[in-house]
Amino acid sequence: MKDQKQTPGNILDLRQVIAEQELKTKRQRQVRFKRRPKNVEWHEPRPLFVTDWRRAFREWLKFMLTAAVVGLVIFGVNLVLAGANDLHTVNNLSVTGINNLSQGLVYLNNLDQKKANLAFHQAAQNFEQAQERIDRSIGGGTTLVSHLPYIGARYQAAKRLISATNHISQAGILASTIIPPAGAKGGFQIDAKGIIKGTFGWLAVLSSQPSVLDKVQQELTASYADMSAVQASAVPVSIRSEIDLWQKLGPSLLGSDQRFNDITKLLFGLVASADTKNYLFIFQNNDELRASGGFPGTYALVKFDRGAFTITDAPGTGPYALRESTPQNILPPEPLLVANPFLTFQDAGWFIDQRYSAAAFSELYRQARGIKPDGVLFFTPNLIEKLLTLTGPITIASTNTTVTAENFVQATEQQVEYDYDKNTNAPKQMLTDMIPELLKKLTTLSLADALKGIVYTIGEADAGNMTIDSLDQNVAQAANNLAWDGAVSLGDSDFIGMIDENVGGGKTDRSINVATTLTVNANGNEWDHELVITRQHNGKAGNQLTGKTNRDYIRVLVPAGANLDSIEGATILEDNAFHLPSVDAKPWKLVTDAEGTVLVDPTRQIRVTHETGGTVFGFWSVIDPGSKQTITVKYRISADKLVHQNQYQLLWRHQPGSVNRVWTLNLLTKQQTFKPATPASGWVYRDNAWSWTGYGDWSQTLSGIIKVD
């Protein structure tokens, strides 16, 4: 059989295979993206309820979200625009209200009843209108507006500001309502006998209405609570400086509602009491440093009577006017025998705790003048110098002297020591004559400068350069709460306080730089303490004031139970440097109570006393101009008295009036053993010790967590 030519059978098979593969791929693709019943072919119609409801929901959701976003943007833009318009109106009302408020304060100080009352009512109306506008504005009553861009912070500031200033307006209305229509202006005058009299303006009126005074105080306290929360950067520029100044006066210095309340209680209780009070003002010179702040260059007895004051005693010879009328039979602490054979009025500021110094000044004044002061106020030149930056130069006609913030101490010292009228023999008269001139300038300060004066005064009180002791329990409690009474409390932690007593060492302490380094070895059951005191006399030899030898009795106050190991480098005075006590001199209970048990090493002239719940090491330092002296004090304290719940704390006390001080703490311990806490900055670890260095213008608390074996 003849062979036939065959057609290749694999051609048809290849086409079929390709078709089947394409169909299979298409089915797989369809199955990948959609689930369908197994028996439904990919090319068959798909029921809507089986395949498209999920897709439809997603499309609907996309549409709604897009619409919502667009709607919110449009709503937000409208809200911001509407809010900005409302905010502009609120700001204008607030600025007008604050202007009326400021004017009302001026009228109030001048005791202009009608104008003050009108201005305060107008201010209150402005603030009420502003509050109403905020309450009915879009979102004004909710928290939503406070989170909006641009206007959120401004709305919050506006609401706080309106509330705060409205409280001040209400206080002003209360005060102005009780002012007599023909009330005399505040200020002062000097009568024919040279006695200075004056009033504190509206405080004089308020003091006659105790119930109104309480309400005014409540309104001011409420105002502080709101004002302290205002962001100055969020208020109108035209009033930002006033708000910024209040912020400095508020949170930074007043601190809290309670602190503000204590300050107002102290102020009103001191100058606006319903009862007549006599306060002894001690003006100290910290160029002759004493424990209380400085040598009492002069004093003044001031009578306060319901907002009015009278300076009843301010002699031109200062404390020496009382020398012959005070008892001369009080045995002084031994170091004061360098100055006098008995305790004098000018040496009454010896005590570390100023409450004892206040009691000593008060009792000696009573014995000399027959009047028992109701309290004592201590001042150093620091406050006067800062107030002079506000008043500008003051010319004292009686001595043809012009004093400024820069030359106040030097000018007064030059006059008191050398340039006073020898015929009248009243070297302190310049200070007495300066009082009315300073008061005249202070009563004419602008509102902004007056607030700055308050800031300066509070700052000096916080630094311990102005303190008050009072027999009035309310005033005394407020002063104690504020730590303005000069009390010393060691607590149960580590403590260091260095007290300088310039005894016949000239007016040189402002020319002395003092660097103090305390090294604490934080190991073992007893911690070794080494205190290194370096004193540099920067005065120039030959200068009438600063070119004198500085003679200083130093006391170091440490925790009770400290064991003294040694004092090296201290000065030993000649025996003839001391006066013999008066023949009839007797110990004074005030002195013995304050100093407790007294231990004396007569050879090295070291004196150990037990005061204010602590132990005191006393010794002498005498340095000439241009020279330096280093004194090292070593002592030990039980570790269980220093560490409580794994915390070590050291309180370093600033002496009132002291300047040019640098403090350093070295805590010898492993780096990982101690974790510094306060201050939050300034700590470094070097030479196997945690170290901190700072200036001694304020008392400091240094603390941290420590691991003790």
The pLDDT value recorded for residue 84 is 45
Q: Terminus-to-terminus CA distance in the chain, angstroms?
A: 117
Which among 430, 448, 481 is the end of a domain? 481
43 has a pLDDT exceeding 60: no
Which among 430, 451, 481 is the end of a domain? 481
Do 158 and 88 sit in the same domain of this protein?
A: yes
379 has a pLDDT exceeding 90: yes
Phi/psi of residue 649, each to 5°? -140, 135
pLDDT 10s digits, 332-377? 999 999 999 999 999 999 999 999 999 999 999 999 999 999 999 9
In a domain, 127, yes or no: yes
In a domain, 173, yes or no: yes
Do 180 and 300 sit in the same domain of this protein?
A: no
**CB contact at 8 A, 87 and 154:** yes
Using 50, 70 and 90 to split pLDDT, how confident is the model at 673? very high
Q: Is the pTM here over 0.85, yes or no?
A: no
pLDDT 10s digits, 566-618? 999 999 999 899 999 989 999 999 999 999 999 999 999 999 999 999 999 99
120 has a pLDDT exceeding 90: no
Higher pLDDT, 419 or 59: 419
Using 50, 70 and 90 to split pLDDT, how confident is the model at 142? very low
Do 431 and 517 sit in the same domain of this protein?
A: no
Do 114 and 219 sit in the same domain of this protein?
A: yes
CATH number for the domain including 307?
A: 3.40.630
In a domain, 31, yes or no: no
Do 209 and 340 sit in the same domain of this protein?
A: no
423 has a pLDDT exceeding 80: yes
The pLDDT value recorded for residue 153 is 60
Among 47-51, 195-199, 352-356, the range with the most confident prediction by mean pLDDT is 352-356
Do 406 and 528 sit in the same domain of this protein?
A: no
Do 457 and 310 sit in the same domain of this protein?
A: yes
405 has a pLDDT exceeding 80: yes
The pLDDT value recorded for residue 141 is 46
CATH number for the domain including 647?
A: 2.60.40.3680
Do 197 and 294 sit in the same domain of this protein?
A: no
As a whole number, mean pLDDT of residues 304-319 equals 88
The whole-angstrom separation of Cα 291 and Cα 333 is: 13
As a whole number, mean pLDDT of residues 624-636 equals 97
Average pLDDT, the chain: 83
The pLDDT value recorded for residue 447 is 65
146 has a pLDDT exceeding 70: no
The pLDDT value recorded for residue 3 is 47
As a whole number, mean pLDDT of residues 62-79 equals 49
Looking at the chain, the number of H-run helices and the number of E-run strands are 16, 27
Using 50, 70 and 90 to split pLDDT, how confident is the model at 78? very low
In a domain, 339, yes or no: yes
208 has a pLDDT exceeding 70: no
Domain that holds residue 98: 69-255
Do 358 and 244 sit in the same domain of this protein?
A: no
Higher pLDDT, 281 or 236: 281
Going from the C-alpha of 370 to that of each of 71, 79, 352, 373, 670, the distances in angstroms are 84, 74, 27, 10, 62
pLDDT 10s digits, 464-523? 999 999 999 999 999 999 999 999 988 889 999 999 999 999 999 999 999 999 999 999
Which among 255, 287, 314 is the end of a domain? 255
- Could you give the number of structural domains in the chain? 3
In a domain, 156, yes or no: yes
Going from the C-alpha of 468 to that of each of 165, 344, 487, 488, 652, the distances in angstroms are 31, 21, 10, 14, 21
Using 50, 70 and 90 to split pLDDT, how confident is the model at 1? very low
Higher pLDDT, 72 or 625: 625
The pLDDT value recorded for residue 239 is 66
pLDDT 10s digits, 424-457? 888 888 888 888 888 888 877 776 787 788 888 8
Tell which residue, 357, 352, 259, 340, has the closest CA to residue 299. 357
Do 306 and 432 sit in the same domain of this protein?
A: yes
**CB contact at 8 A, 463 and 523:** no
Higher pLDDT, 629 or 203: 629
The pLDDT value recorded for residue 40 is 47
In a domain, 210, yes or no: yes
The pLDDT value recorded for residue 656 is 95
**CB contact at 8 A, 108 and 205:** no
In a domain, 10, yes or no: no
The pLDDT value recorded for residue 52 is 57
In a domain, 7, yes or no: no
682 has a pLDDT exceeding 50: yes
Do 290 and 219 sit in the same domain of this protein?
A: no
Using 50, 70 and 90 to split pLDDT, how confident is the model at 313? very high
The dihedral through the CA atoms of 589, 593, 595, 600 has a sign that is: positive
Do 503 and 414 sit in the same domain of this protein?
A: no
The pLDDT value recorded for residue 424 is 82
